[in-house]
Amino acid sequence: MFWFRKKKQVPNQYMVLRPQDKTLYFDKDQSILETCIENQIEIDHSCGGNGSCGTCKINILKGLELLGPREDIELEWAEERSFKESERLACQCPSTHKLEFEI
């Protein structure tokens, strides 16, 4: 018999993809990339989401202060490619309630 663990739903937690105004609900401990994939949103992620390619760059429109500072992997990409402060890697950022972003 197989036991599957259900993901813990975060009640009423969502992000908004602009300019489509698409509301994306997410599970606890999901990255923004994982939430996009689960919601059938096309987003580049050549490396599969481990932070080694930099192709999942997004622009945070609202809620940047909720994400916290970049971790080492993301910081390296940001410096190498001269990211603006609002540009982040979707694979390295946690899904965050009321965040608004564009791809």
In the sheet where 9-17 sits, what is the strand order? 22-27, 9-17, 100-102, 57-62, 87-89
Band of pLDDT at residue 7, cut at 50, 70 and 90: low
**At residue 11, does pLDDT exceed 70?**
no
The tokens describing 62, both together, are 């609202």
Residue 1: what pLDDT? 45
Does domain 13-102 fall under CATH 3.40.50.300? My reply is: no
For the chain, give every domain's residue range: 13-102
pLDDT beyond 90 at 17? yes
pLDDT tens digits, 40-98: 999 999 999 999 999 999 999 999 999 999 999 999 999 999 999 999 999 999 999 99
The pTM assigned to this predicted structure is 0.87
Is 9 a residue whose pLDDT tops 80? no
